[in-house]
Amino acid sequence: MARGAATFRPPSYLSCASLARELDVSETTVHEMVRRGVLPQPIKLSSGCVRWCWSDVELALASLSGEKAPDASNDPFLEGVRDVTSPAQSGCESAQGRAPRRVARA
């Protein structure tokens, strides 16, 4: 894939300035939104370094508009997690009534 063809996405962890720029608000507004509970608390990485997790910010903003979080139904990792965490019926059968899938180990 060519470099220019990649879609833009913000970094996984953003500084206050980067988050403010991404949301098109001032840094003061970011802090106010955190104080009011609209945005999640930042993660303190060191004494002078705090960052916001972009996926947490997306979830918080999606909840404001009543939207669901970005769809992850076709994510193979999350599908495996759902398989593992779904309540099993009797024996070795999954909740769907079939034997669990075997995963080949590398």
- Segment 59-90, tens digit of pLDDT: 998 888 776 555 555 555 555 555 555 555 44
How far CA 6 is from CA of 1, 2, 3, 10, 76, in Å, comes to 7, 7, 6, 12, 22
Fold of 10-85: Multidrug-efflux Transporter Regulator; Chain: A; Domain 2 (1.10.1660)
Q: What is the DSSP letter of 33?
A: H
- Every domain of the chain and the residues it spans: 10-85
- Segment 20-29, tens digit of pLDDT: 999 999 999 9
Beta carbons within 10 angstroms of residue 100's beta carbon: 13
The alpha carbon of residue 66 and the mean position of all alpha carbons in its chain are separated, in whole angstroms, by 16
Closest to 31 measured CA to CA, from 15, 45, 8, 12: 15
Asked whether the whole model's pTM tops 0.75, one would answer no
Average pLDDT score over the chain: 74
Q: How far apart are CA 41 and CA 30, in angstroms?
A: 10
